[in-house]
Structure 1
Amino acid sequence: MSRQCDSVVKKANAILGCINRGITSKSQDVIVPLYTALVRPHLEYCVQFWRPHFKKDIKLKRARRLRSLLGRGNNQIAPLPIELDYQQEAAVPAAPPPPTTRRDYVRIVARHVSGEHQSQPKRFLKAVAHLCREQQRHTTLHLPCSKREVAASVKEIMVRSLVGTPTSCLLALRAITGLSRFQPPLEEDLRRSLISLGTHLVWTCVSSKESTAGQALEGMFKGLLKEAPTTRHLVGLLDHLTYWMEVGEAEVRAQAASLCSSLLQFARDLPSFQNAAEPQLGSLAARLAVSLLDPEPVIRERAREAVSQLHGLLLQQKGLRGKGTSFLRCPQWKGQPLRARLYQLVRVSELFGMHFTMQQEMEFLTTCWNIVVSLAQEWRRVGGLLLMYSLLGQAYSLLEEEQEGEGLQISILLSELRQGRKVPAEIKHVICGK
């Protein structure tokens, strides 16, 4: 379109020259109507089609000179559409230069935390990640603001990403991973908020095909566990993942189960991990074991690995070694996959019961009971029932009755338990104790 632009400019200049030479009066009452009627139509006709895109075609300098010549300093001649676009582009502030020194990165973080320059969250998150990498040999983060204030600013960015485009999600996860290398540990409420926001962004807002999102989420979980390597902290992290194993789609459930297994393995291999017999391990065992009846084979396999890692963690507390996943196989039911999964669930409950403390056993039974009387999927309620009856030593008789009754016994029992009938005395004791 450059030729068209040149043609239009020449024609407009010719008309302007005629007006300048032929009209003696330069008052605005004379010049403005002539300019509007004779010049502007040539510059604006079908401009949406041939609109110039290059500065060399706009010829703003000449247009402005001629307008000022005719206007004689008054502003009665409206600017051209091309000039308006150019003025808008010029009004946009130029992007700040990229940081090059540590002082630049510190200034970016300090200004964002203090409330200034919060319009560029990516710049802030990149600066946080850079400073964390730079100071990774130190135990504390040397900044004008505290670690908690920086983490709270990251949280605000993640909250804004929930209602907007989650473009800063991965940068936020990496920033949290970097912050977790330093002491002191984050407060429990802030840590829970960061985990909830991170998992929600990755598994609902970001495309599940992005493997980098899963890797960033795994790095955040491991970093937060390393920040406070205790069993209680581990159970708190896994609670978020087991939640997604219950309510997420098939792909999300598989990723959550895989992350559970990876996090448990990481905890077992961590030299500084404080492996204590927390009561919440019983509830965690029940929620993981139920997923062994998941309809998706991939999820069942990954849940089996997670259950095996948790069993190894319990054995590690007593100075014993795990046996991998081979102890969960049921070769005698090879031709009946559903029956094999049911007996596998009973086997899991028996093995966990051998190493549970009294408090862990009560947490296990309570969680199983809550699953049974909940509005969860049928297979999940069946799993909770078998786990509960297995720990009470009544699962095998229940499965035999189920086989003789052509698959109706468990469904009838689930209905009666939900109505409060046929509740085992041991369960009543646990419920009353709670």
Structure 2
Amino acid sequence: MGPCEGRVGPNLPWVPDMGARDPCWPLESPWSLPSRTEPPCASAELCQERVDSRVEEVAIYDIEEQLHTRDTSPAALQRFLLAIPLACLAALQRGEDTLAPRCCKDTMMARIVEIMEDSPPPLVLADCLNAACSLSTLQPPLRAQLLSPLLTAAVGQTVSGDWQQEPIHTQQFIRALPYDLQALLASLLAESPDTARLQLIMEHLSPWLESRLPQERARALGSTTALLGVATTLPGFDNSADWPRMGHHVAQLGLFISDPSEDVSRLAREGVHSLYQLLLHHRGLNIHQAEDLWCRHYYKERWVLAHSNSVRVGEVFGQLFTAEQENCFLDKALLAARSPLRRPSQAGLVLAHALHGQAHQLLEYMPALLPGGPHAPLSPWVSQEIMEDSPPPLVLADCLNAACSLSTLQPPLRAQLLSPLLTAAVGQTVSGDWQQEPIHTQQFIRALPYDLQALLASLLAESPDTARLQLIMEHLSPWLESRLPQERARALGSTTALLGVATTLPGFDNSADWPRMGHHVAQLGLFISDPSEDVSRLAREGVHSLYQLLLHHRGTP
């Protein structure tokens, strides 16, 4: 059979033969594909200046046949996917912007989505992305019901694909997949160039930026940055609508600015800069009327420059954000600050404090957060310059978590710093009145007593002996005498939790005398008869822990 011979369809001069299979694909695989080393005659016509009318007829026939029969054989699927760009190109060359009435755009797109949802191999996925991209250039616009499934399948399959075991000859197609996805997203945005479409696409990319796999985060970041770059240069882009979730996306990209990979950091800065341009345009400003987003100073340490740029992000965007955008920014930054991983936790703290104008002080002590660095200098800043200033509850929660993390490092905290830290942490947490705070912060407020308990337990574990326990108890004791019931309850909960930790802490040195133990036993004993069952129960637990400590000190089992 010659290169242009093949099957014959009704009223068609020829249809290319797609039966030859690539020996690199196992025959039993449901996705065995024709060879891509010698393209079929129909796809080869793409290299010509104009699409031949015969080739267009073949393409339309293949599309109609697939939509009618829904043949799942690899050859039929490939004919269908390669035919769509040909048919679209032919229509555009004739000056038309639709394939109707012969082919329905939504029906073809729905079939492409079905193929992508079956986790196809990379070559088929590439054809799906290119076919969807070609269709998005035609009219009518894609129905809203199809857009979300298309984005879910295209983004999910491209970003999460693991193709390391694929044959070598397919690697060039695999390396091009992220760019195929970027082209599709840009085309979908151009189809409806407005903030609503941009928000929808960003929401499908955003979860992948949180992936635990570095390659998935990098692919999602590249697509996000490319999409935002298109939005800033797209003619006629309607940026008049509000975008409350922009704050979330700014913080999400801002967390990558301090990434150790220079490429990742650069992509993050590009994405943030594009969001900055969009926000300025929405406010009726241009980039020349705005502040410089990035630091221009030279720093020997790269991490200092990265964190300084993160500070600029919080400060500059904070001047332009609406209240909703600021809340989304803070929610994301503070969520990252609670990460058990060091780098995102640092980046989240910097972004959150930058929005309140306090990050420059944090940077002075940032060496303490680096592996192996001394952590003592950070504690007075946390206790005296932030917690003593009666910060809002979200910032206070970050202070408690930061101090708790530092207390797990060596060397132990200097004695001169321990008392100011305890005074600020206990005082601000126990006495805080946050009833008027927004609803979205209430979950953090409810967690504050537990954040304090975690900090006190960590400080006791840093130096597990009676002297440290006595010192912490002396800072809690005055609040047990408060005239406000909520303050007494918070102090009682922290006291009971601390004593419970002391009784179970491995290696706790209980050999020293504790003359003030009698005071604490009596103080807790007064709460046993409290009408509140919860208060009474906490008091009994605290007294029981003191009883265990006293028995252990006396050598009684």
The TM-score normalised by the length of structure 1 is: 0.67
The answer as to 2:440 corresponding to 1:431 is yes
What is the distance in 2 between the residues matched to 1:245 and 1:193?
19
Structure 2 unmatched runs, 5+: 1-39, 43-53, 165-170, 369-374, 383-397, 406-427, 444-557
Partners of 1:250 and 1:296 within 8 A in 2: no
* Contact 1:206–1:213 (Cα < 8 Å) also in 2: no
Matches within 5 A, 1:60-79: none
For the structure 1 residues 278 and 417, does the alpha-carbon distance in structure 2 shift closer, same or farther, using more than 3 Å as the test?
Answer: farther
Asked whether the equivalents of residues 260 and 306 of structure 1 are also in contact (C-alpha less than 8 Å), the reply is yes
One of 402, 405, 414 as aligned partner of 2:401: 414
Instruction: Give the whole-Å Cα distance in 1 for the aligned partners of 2:318 and 2:361.
Output: 18
Identity of aligned residues (%): 26
Q: Is the CA contact (8 Å cut-off) linking 2:232 and 2:278 kept in structure 1?
A: yes
Query: How many residues matched?
Result: 334
**Partner residue, 2:273:** 308
Specify the alignment match of 1:259 in structure 2. Answer: 223
1:176–1:328 CA distance, 2 compared to 1 (3 A): same
Shift of 1:263: 1.9
CA distance in 2, matches of 1:171, 1:407: 57
Question: Alignment partner for residue 154 of structure 2, among 198, 202, 224?
Answer: 198
Q: Which amino acid aligns with 1:265?
A: G
Q: Is the 8 A contact 1:166 1:201 kept in 2?
A: no
What CA distance in whole angstroms lies between the structure 1 residues aligned with 2:81 and 2:291? Answer: 41
Matches within 5 A, 1:189-338: 189-203=145-159, 204-206=161-163, 210-247=174-211, 249-276=213-240, 277-322=242-287, 327-329=293-295, 331=297, 334-338=299-303
Alpha-carbon distance between aligned partners in 2 of 1:227 and 1:426, rounded to the nearest angstrom = 47
Provide the alpha-carbon RMSD of the alignment. Answer: 3.5
Shift of 1:233: 1.6
1:121-162 superposed Cα distances (whole Å, 9 cap, x missing partner): 1111111121111223434331444222111100111122x1
Structure 1 position 305, deviation (Å): 1.4
Describe the SS at the equivalent of 1:261: helix
**Map of 2:312 onto structure 1:** 347
Distance 1:190 1:380, change over 3 A: farther
Contact 1:176–1:220 at 8 Å: present in 2 too?
Answer: yes
User: What is the CA–CA distance in structure 2 between the aligned matches of 1:186 and 1:426, rounded to whole Å?
Assistant: 47
Q: Is the aligned partner of 1:149 residue 2:107?
A: yes
Conserved 8 A contact 1:132-1:141 = yes
Which secondary structure does the structure 1 equivalent of 2:243 belong to? coil
2:341 to 377, 380, 387: 377
Aligned pair in 2 of structure 1 residues 155, 424: CA closer, same or farther (>3 Å)? farther
Cα distance 1:265–1:417, how it changes in 2: closer, same or farther (>3 A)? Answer: farther
Which whole-Å deviations, capped at 9, do the CAs of 1:262-313 have from their partners, x for residues lacking one? 2222111111211133112111111111111212122111211111121111
Match of residue 424 from structure 2: none
Instruction: Report which structure shows greater RCO (CA 8 Å, sep ≥6).
Output: 1
Deviations 1:91-112 (A, max 9, x none): xxxxxx9763433322321222
Q: CA deviation at 1:379?
A: 1.4
Out of 169-178 and 262-271, give the one that drifted further.
262-271
Equivalent of residue 59 in structure 2, options 87, 98, 105? 105
Hey, which of these two has a bigger chunk of helix by percent?
1
Q: In the TM superposition, what is the alpha-carbon distance from 1:255 to its structure 2 partner?
A: 4.1
Tell me which moved more, 245-254 or 336-345: 245-254
- Find the aligned partners of 2:101 and 2:162 in 1 and give their Cα distance: 32
Which segments of 5 or more consecutive residues in structure 1 lack a partner in the other structure? 1-96
